[in-house]
A and B are shown apart, each in its own frame.
Chain A
Amino acid sequence: MTSGDAAPELDPVIHAQARLRVMVTLSALGEGDEIAFPSLKDLLGMTAGNLSVHLTKLEEAGYVRITKTHRGRTPVTYVSMTTRGRLALEDYTKAIRSLLDSAGGNP
């Protein structure tokens, strides 16, 4: 980023449109809630492959938790946001806001 004076660092894991959308979607769930992978995929309108790649990145960063389990005989994958992920998204949003303010742009 080259936004001039002491621009806040933007978390590179979140600062990619697709992963930002994943993070925002997960943050809208209640705390302690998990969403099934296919539902998340539909909410985001992503392909399963694409979403998997981004989730892996977010999991590596410790922002999301992926739980593989079974419902009856069918395997189901649930995704939830970790506390660390919530904090990271909060920081990211704050950083974006302060960028906007320091740019002196229209709110």
Chain B
Amino acid sequence: MTDDGERASSPEETLRLIERQRAATVKALNGDPLLLYTPWGVAWLLGFGAFFLHYGLHGVPYAPITWQLALGILLAAQLVAGAFMATGLVRLSSAIRGESSAKGMMYGYAWFVGMVLMTVINIRFSSMLPPEERGLMWSGVSLLVVAVLYMACGALYTQWPMFFMGVWVAAVNGLGVILGPGWHALLTAVLLGGGQIVTGILLRRRA
């Protein structure tokens, strides 16, 4: 070689170099799992935790938290989580253009459309429900959208952890809706909120 590109030495070393570089690139392009999962986990743990204290398991509240306060905590925490995620996505979208940024845009709009439709459906039907079931309808349907879009994200980017997180959200959500508002809030806070926190930490450690 006559230029400054030093020769890669032995075949073993070359293969190792290829693997290392590929892993580093994939890691950089996928974003930090700690920022992707953990803030949502914290948001759900706090928000649904507040709802759980509001509902109680047997119809008696465990703490004097109104549903408005619980909802406020959940929305505020989700806003923070969304901001964490958005900073990562904006950084990525300025780096890459082409098919995957078109994919990302469509996926982003899918969230928006899903959440708008979820709101329309809930507004129409929740007023027909007894008051104690209204909150469950809202959280059940919104987690349906979340579960489906997590699985779609897994499919879109071939990310198994994201796909399984979607399956997990669907399963816990289904079980919680069957068991009632108090249980739904508890399971969502602990299994989904906690699950996302643990997933973020584990994936970060493994990376």
Contact = CB atoms under 8 A, between A and B. Distances in A.
Interface of A: 12, 15-21, 24-25, 27-36, 39, 43, 50, 53-54, 57, 78, 80, 93, 96-97, 99-100, 103, 105
Chain A at the B interface: SS class: helix
B98 A33 contact: yes
Interface residues of B, number: 28
Given A32-B98, A34-B97, A36-B94, A100 B21 contact: no
A19 B5 contact: yes
Contact of B7 (A16, A28, A93): A16
Given A25-B25, A28-B29, A105-B12, A16 B96 contact: no
Interface of B: 1, 3-8, 11-12, 14-15, 17-18, 21-22, 24-26, 28-29, 94-101
A96 B21 contact: no
Contacts of A18: 4-6
A54 B3 CA distance: 9
A80 B99 CA distance: 12
Contacts of A50: 4
B5 A16 contact: yes
A61 to B, nearest CB: 13
B99 A31 contact: yes
Contacts of B26: 28
Q: Which of B6, B14, B96, B99 has the most CB of A within 10 A?
A: B14
A21 B95 CA distance: 18
A34 B96 contact: yes
A98 to B, nearest CB: 9
B148 to A, nearest CB: 23
A100 B11 contact: yes
A24 B22 contact: yes
A30 B11 contact: no
